[in-house]
Chain A
Amino acid sequence: MLVEVSKLSKQYTLGAGMEDNLRAALMQGIRNAWRGAGDRQKSVFWALEDISFSLDRGEVLGVIGSNGAGKSTLLKILSRVTLPSSGRALLRGRVGSLLEVGTGFHPDLSGRENIFFNGALLGMRQAEIRAKLDEIVAFSGVERFIDLPVRKYSSGMYVRLAFSVAAHLETEILLIDEVLAVGDIAFQKKCIGKMEDVLQEGKAIVFISHNLGLVRQLCSRAMVLEQGRNRFLGSVDDAIQVYAKACLVKPEEVRFQGKLSDRVQVKGIRLNGRDPFVQEVLVSPGDSLRFECWLELDAFERLRVDLALFVEGMRLCTAHDYPEGASCRAGLVKLWFDFPGGWLRPGMYFVGLGGQEGSKLGDWFWKSDVFSFVVIEEWVAGIHEVSTGCVNVSVRGRREYVSGVGATGE
């Protein structure tokens, strides 16, 4: 076993005992001397409680859970940034992590100098860095600027350079926090590629992610954390089910915002016939999408209902049922929106729902992030692996000779 974790717990003390200013500490000292130290009120918070697992060569453990479930604390303990309160972990081999990309980079120093310092910080020997320098620089693609201070780099160049240092660290155990990979799909791809390489070399990975599609694609087992406890440890599909059930709301709990919000109520939603409130829906890139919504409505004169797709907080598109608005009677209505397949690229999408009465400003209701779904990483005909972004387009570039050696145009 490369990693053996047994009964790992981490406790944080809130309030008393951790005074961060001198006055409070002095006051506490005086109070304790007066009354005896026994009776101070401490409020204790368990960020992690009784976590055990082991990991063998070639295994990837996915750790999923909502925010604050203890995922980052677990990673911090495994990377030795913080110590556990009890329990132990055994790590056989060098530990690297892709959560510390660019740590210790100094803007005034050149790319080359930063490679050396960052490498040393991650635990590489100077000789090792020197041997791999060319490779690191080539991988980052910033050869021409390697002797410029990194403050002159674009943010993309900066991240690429930082990542290639981390990627060239030879480790037996790799810790990855996906939070970092969000925002740059090309970068995320590199992380994934690196993970696959590492796996083939027979190493172990702990992978923390919100992206259930990625967890399903890469992990051999998964653990669901809930309020610091191990809720489930086992097969990835089962773990995703457990997680989805634990964190999804009921359709009745969807609250709209806006003036009309109390005149509309969601009764149910289906995506391709599946209920996203029961389990996060995973679709293939080639699948067409049918969104069905059941809404309990009051009577409206000219109602328009909108459904919008978001990716990373940005509105990708909006669809309407009646762009000009149409009257409807009070009661339960069913709406559906059909999107063609092969259009969305792999990733996580959020769905927003809302509506507008007539053209009066302020007569609207809206809720973003009603539910989410995942387009999984899977390559089907007509979807090119080389392209990145969130939508597929069928545009082809053209090429022709203008002049040059061997040109025959004239």
Chain B
Amino acid sequence: MKIFTIIKAPERNFRWPFLEIFRYRELLWAMAYRDYRVKYAHTGIGMVWALLQPLLMMGLLGLAFGIVAPVDTGGVPRPLFVAAGLSAWSYCAVIIAESGHSILGAQQMIKKVYFPRLIIPASKAITALIDLATMLTVWGVLMVVYGHVPGWRMLWLPVFLVLTMGMGLTLGIWMSALMVRFRDFKFVMPIILQVGMYVTPIAYPVSVLPESLRWLFYLNPMTGIVEGMRWCLLGEGVFDWAVLWSLPLVAILFWGALRYFRGVEEVMADLL
């Protein structure tokens, strides 16, 4: 293969980065694999940690919305209800948290070697698949325990997973680029994650909210995604068409994130 490189001043026009990322796909996999190895390889009980955290989270949410302030789940066993909602949210949250810091964490590489910088936050979405798989395993076990059958709606799962990943990456890419310019966003990110946790209907259905406030919750794209996830994983309830609102919303936000990232990418090595 003949490699031909032209180096010139930034042109400030937007190009979709997918082709270049595809060309660097081996590096993308290598980065994801490295993250996985670093995260789990040298800890004492390794993967058990990946399981422990969501279980703890489920327990806390179950306590809050089941015993302290009980919420009607529409007849679905509560652990199952929480596990389905949490699987979408925790995947999204892990991507945001990991990719948000990723550019700052990879400064040394960025200052020395060229590669499409988007690979760094993108690889985190791949590594986070481990967290997703753990959560879905928990959900699967609970399905068996409660004798629940998901049905044909399961076919929709990939759609919601892609949406979840898109949402996680959108915020993660925004955060990672903003953090390069303004270190203040180190403090903004945990706030977003904390607020997001409560305004996303993980352990309660949207139907418990007063009718007049629901539109406000649907401004959060994760609301539709979590509702949809529950619809397809639990095989209960009716499809809420408002869910489809999340699709264009995530698409637009994702495009905005790529645009902003591209602007910062050009001066990244000079700013770090």
Contact = CB atoms under 8 A, between A and B. Distances in A.
Interface of A: 12, 18, 20-22, 25, 76-95, 99-100, 103-104, 106, 108-109, 113, 116-117, 120-123, 125-126, 149, 172
15 contacts: A12-B270, A21-B182, A21-B183, A22-B184, A25-B182, A78-B7, A81-B111, A81-B112, A81-B114, A83-B266, A84-B8, A100-B112, A100-B113, A106-B34, A121-B115
Contacts of B8: 83-84, 87-89
A83 B9 contact: yes
B27 A121 contact: yes
A76 to B, nearest CB: 7
Interface of B: 2-10, 26-27, 30-31, 33-34, 37-38, 41-42, 108-115, 181-185, 266-267, 269-271
Nearest to A78: B7
A327 B214 CA distance: 98
Question: Which of B4, B5, B38, B184 gathers most chain A CB within 10 Å?
Answer: B5
A109 B41 contact: yes
Given A20-B183, A90-B5, A93-B3, 4 more contacts: A22-B184, A79-B113, A81-B111, A81-B113
Given A121-B27, A121-B109, A86 B5 contact: no
A316 to B, nearest CB: 33
Contacts of B266: 83
Given A79-B113, A81-B111, A92 B37 contact: no
A117 B26 CA distance: 10
A73 B207 CA distance: 59
B109 A104 contact: yes
Contacts of A83: 7-10, 266-267
A249 B33 CA distance: 54
B6 A88 contact: yes
A91 B37 contact: no
A86 B9 contact: yes
A-B residue pairs, 4 tightest by C-beta: A80-B114, A120-B30, A89-B7, A22-B184
A20 B7 contact: no
B152 to A, nearest CB: 39
B113 A109 contact: no
